[in-house]
Amino acid sequence: MRNHLALLACTVIIATACSDSSDSSHSAAAQVPLSARYELSSPDSVPEGVAFDPQQRAFYTTSLQGGGIVRIDAGGRETVFRAADNRAQVGGTKVDAERRRLWACAQGVDGGDSRVWVFDLDSAERVMEFFLGAINTNASCNDLVLNSEGVAYVTDPANPFLYRLDPDTGVGDILATDPLFRDVTGAGLGLNGIALSPDGSALIVAVFFPAGLLRVGLPDGDSIEPIALSGDALPSPDGLAVLDGDLYAVSGDSVSRVRPGPDFRTGEVVNVAQESGLSTATVAESRLYVIKSDVVNYVLKKPLELPFAIFHVDSGLFGD
């Protein structure tokens, strides 16, 4: 394993937002309850990733087609956060509300390498760019998760690596590699979604095929093991989210709750069918929201089933 540190190019832009307008917009947003469903206006963006900013009470969706990022406030108003320019396929995304950052996986930038972009949430300016190819040749990026210190952990669906990116130093490295990470399909369908365990002691990583979940110990990634699952069969998982101590795994037409055992080495699965075309999930004000993005039809070049949407999945559907 080439576990070397790579000094990554990053651009820091300091922007000051108008406090009066920010305060007023936050107050206005606070008066509007989150809707159960937000239908998106785009007919072709394929919004694979979704994240929620609890301070401004807004969702952010990425775009596999066009590379744009859209902001949807609590009232459902859509605004362009990053204009579509066809530079990349933008996938997994996460909000660091404390540091006012939006992280996003940018695949095939300008027809070449994959990168992780970091934006200022308030100004929409890109403030940092991690070149994954500086860490590992032909690296790719599917999804990421952030720890309490703002460090990102990134899955590579085509290569057997997990990456760690530190925004304070601008340095990235390989956190872990293992044969369990290997893409056995040859189609970039290896590691997929990623989440932190409820106690923060491990990463939970989705393996798309064969469907499964892995536990990767933190802080060094030196303990890697399959999570022993019971209950319903887990469909091939895409995005992951943690809510009230449980893990939720999103598949194409279902959501699975995984209730963990001690140290998240085991998990009991309850699977609930949903509308088709789902990719991932986020937690917003103690509720689970998933995004209908129709990625499978997009990849297979089939007609897209519209509209794209973000909607709430009631945790009560999964039982006690």
Euclidean distance between CA atoms 131 and 204, whole angstroms: 24
Tokens read off for 297: 């039809």
Please check whether residue 152 is in contact with residue 169, taking contact to mean a CB–CB distance below 8 angstroms: no
121-130 per-residue burial string, b: 16 or more CB within 10 A, e: under 16: bbebebbbbb
Euclidean distance between CA atoms 67 and 46, whole angstroms: 9
Euclidean distance between CA atoms 291 and 308, whole angstroms: 8
pLDDT score at 97: 98
Residues 59-91: pLDDT tens digits? 999 999 999 999 999 999 999 999 999 999 999
Residue 320 pLDDT level (bands cut at 50, 70, 90): confident
Residues 251-261: pLDDT tens digits? 999 999 999 99
Question: Strand pairing of 171-177 and 6-7?
Answer: antiparallel
Please name the residue that has the structure tokens 């989210």. 241
Q: DSSP secondary structure string, 15-66?
A: ----HHHHHHHHHHHHTSPPPSEEE---SS-----EEEETTTTEEEEE-SSS
34-313 placed in CATH 2.120.10.30: yes
Q: What DSSP character marks residue 294? A: -
**What is the rounded average pLDDT of the residues 2-16?**
35
Please name the residue that has the structure tokens 């070149």. 131
Q: How many CA atoms lie within 13 A of 60 on its CB side?
A: 30
Domain-wise residue ranges, the chain: 34-313
Please check whether residue 252 is in contact with residue 238, taking contact to mean a CB–CB distance below 8 angstroms: yes
**Minimal CA–CA distance to 62: which of 45, 71, 49?**
49
pTM equals: 0.90
Residue 31 pLDDT level (bands cut at 50, 70, 90): confident
**What is the rounded average pLDDT of the residues 180-208?**
95
> Where is 296: in which H helix or E strand?
helix 295-299
Please check whether residue 60 is in contact with residue 110, taking contact to mean a CB–CB distance below 8 angstroms: no
Q: DSSP secondary structure string, 227-238?
A: -EEEESPPPPP-
**What is the rounded average pLDDT of the residues 199-219?**
96
Q: Residue length, the chain?
A: 320
Euclidean distance between CA atoms 20 and 156, whole angstroms: 41
